[in-house]
Amino acid sequence: MLEIVNVTKYYGALAAIRGVSFTARRGEVLGCLGPNGSGKSTTVNIVAGLLDPTSGEVRVDGEDIRRDLFAHRRRIGYVPETPEVYSYLTGPEYLTLVGRLRRIAPDVLEEKIERFLRLFGIYGDRHGRLSGYSKGMRQKILIAAGLLHDPEIVVLDEPSSGLDVGTTLVLKQLIRALAADGKIVLYSSHVLEFVEQVCSSVVILREGRVAASDRIERLEELMNQPSLEQVWRQLALHDDTDEVASGLIEAMRL
C-alpha cells in the first residue's frame, strides 16, 4: 500500500501542495487529476522519492520511504513529464544506459529493449538519435525506460502527451495490465477522458489541495453528476472557459 500522508511542499515562499493525503493499493490505478499548476508533478515527484516534501511523509507498506530512499527508487518506475533525454544517444543506447543503472543483466536487457522497441513500433528507428525522434517516439522511450526493471510501483506524469491514437490505446491497456499484474499505478494527468477510462480511483487537485478523492463511480454518485467531466467542472474549473478562450483570442489579436 502506498500512503501519502499530509504532504506539503514549498518552493521558496510558494506552497505547491498543501496537506495532500491519499492512498493507493496494489492492483489499483490511482489517477491524479488537476489543471496545470495544481501540483500534480510535485506530488508524483515526491512519491517517486525524487523530491523531498517540506513536511508530511510517503509510506509504502507502512514504512516512510526516507528510511531507505535507494530501496524505494529501485521499486519505482517513473515516467517523467518532459521528454528531456540524452538527445545524442539512440533509443537503444539510452535504454541500455538506464537498464545498466538498474543493474539488469546485459543479455536480459538486450532482449527487453528489443521487445519494447518492437511492441512500441519504433524498432525500425533504433539507429536514429533521440534528437531526431518525434515527441511521441521519445515518450515511448521514456515509458520503456520506466518499466524495464519491472517496478512494483509505477508513477507516470502525463505520459499520454504527444502520443498518437494507436499508442494511446496501447498505453491505456498497458496501464490496466500493470495494475492487473499487482502493481501500484499512480497516473497524473489533466486529461479527464484518459483518467476516467483507466483509473479506478482519482484524487483531484486544485491549487495544491485535494479537492476530492474517491473511487471514480463514487465521485459521480456523491456529486450527483452523470460523468466525471461534470464532477471535474464543478470541482476544478473556477474560470469560465468561454471567457478564457475569448480572452486568449483577444490577446492573440493585440
Binding site for ligand ADP (CB under 6 A): 11, 14, 16, 34, 36-42
Q: Which does 151 bind (CB under 5 to 8 A by kind): Mg ion, ligand ADP, none?
A: none
Task: State which residue, 35 or 136, has the beta carbon closest to ligand ADP.
Answer: 35
Q: Which does 224 bind (CB under 5 to 8 A by kind): Mg ion, ligand ADP, none?
A: none
Task: State which residue, 59 or 206, has the beta carbon closest to ligand ADP.
Answer: 206
Residues that bind Mg ion (CB under 5 A): 40-41
Task: State which residue, 41 or 160, has the beta carbon closest to Mg ion.
Answer: 41
Query: Whole-number minimum distance, CB 239 to ligand ADP, in Å?
Result: 15
Of 213, 145, 156, 154, nearest to 179 by C-alpha is: 154
Query: Whole-number minimum distance, CB 154 to ligand ADP, in Å?
Result: 17
The cell numbers describing 17, all together, are 501542495
Task: State which residue, 39 or 99, has the beta carbon closest to ligand ADP.
Answer: 39
Q: Which does 16 bind (CB under 5 to 8 A by kind): ligand ADP, Mg ion, none?
A: ligand ADP
Query: Whole-number minimum distance, CB 34 to Mg ion, in Å?
Result: 9
Query: Whole-number minimum distance, CB 190 to Mg ion, in Å?
Result: 8
